[in-house]
Chain A
Amino acid sequence: GEDVEQSLFLSVREGDSSVINCTYTDSSSTYLYWYKQEPGAGLQLLTYIFSNMDMKQDQRLTVLLNKKDKHLSLRIADTQTGDSAIYFCAERGRASGTYKYIFGTGTRLKVLA
């Protein structure tokens, strides 16, 4: 079945770049996502990439997709303390004539001042 894997923790210094990695198994996924969850809150969409793209940039965020290796990464440039959160990778897969969203375990990013 579908599976999405991420490392659980990442710690970086303020001002450095953060890179969060993810691998997925469903090669038919058309969309791949990065969601952010701040303490005590629901998930908020950060960015997504369509499967026929290799890269997407949005201000401090860069998403890289290697479809051959089924590898997705999120790079946050100039990481700030406000970026401390849990980051979830997700893929959209087909299910019963509609779609469902499969999430990874989440990577807890800690930004050190």
Chain B
Amino acid sequence: DVKVTQSSRYLVKRTGEKVFLECVQDMDHENMFWYRQDPGLGLRLIYFSYDVKMKEKGDIPEGYSVSREKKERFSLILESASTNQTSMYLCASASGGGTEAFFGQGTRLTVV
């Protein structure tokens, strides 16, 4: 069965901390994505990756970076967390020629 796993369901961090959100997929997918979800704004693409060590900015990359050292793992990094980064973060993966994106269960991050 297809699986995208995010390391935490809930996370509380302090302003200024460096935060790592981890995502692992077991489907050998080339493409992986990080979105944030906010009420009334839907899902907005932060970063995506189409291969190991390759990354592309999405629509709202400011304040974030990513790392993809292995094909199955895609990490989102908040360099210095701020309260406006409090949100639900969703990871997804998709094969290069596939039709659909598969999502993890989400990480609800609160920055205090």
- By beta carbon, the residue of chain B nearest A100 is B48
Give Cα A48–Cα B106 distance, bound, in whole angstroms. 22
- Inside 8 A of A98's CB, which chain B residues have their CB? 30-31, 48, 50, 96
Q: Which of B30, B92, B101: most chain A Cβ within 10 A?
A: B101
Contact A41 B105 (CB under 8 A): yes
Give Cα A37–Cα B62 distance, bound, in whole angstroms. 26
* Interface size class, chain B: 20 to 34
Q: Mark A1-41, 1 if CB is under 8 A from B, else 0.
A: 10010101000000000000000000000010101000011
Contact B58 A103 (CB under 8 A): no
- Inside 8 A of B45's CB, which chain A residues have their CB? 100-102
By secondary structure, the A interface counts as strand
Q: Mark A71-100, 1 if CB is under 8 A from B, else 0.
A: 000000000000000001010100111111
User: Counting CB contacts under 8 A, is B56 at the interface?
Assistant: yes
Give the Cβ gap from A72 to chain B, nearest Cβ, in Å.
15
Give Cα A102–Cα B44 distance, bound, in whole angstroms. 8
Contact B50 A96 (CB under 8 A): yes
Hey, which bits of chain B sit against chain A, CB under 8 A? 4, 30-31, 33, 35, 40-45, 48, 50, 56, 58-59, 90, 92, 94, 96, 99-106
Hey, which bits of chain A sit against chain B, CB under 8 A? 1, 4, 6, 8, 31, 33, 35, 40-45, 48, 88, 90, 92, 95-106
User: Known contacts A92-B99, A103-B43; can you find 4 more A-B pairs with CB under 8 A?
Assistant: A6-B42, A41-B105, A42-B104, A101-B33
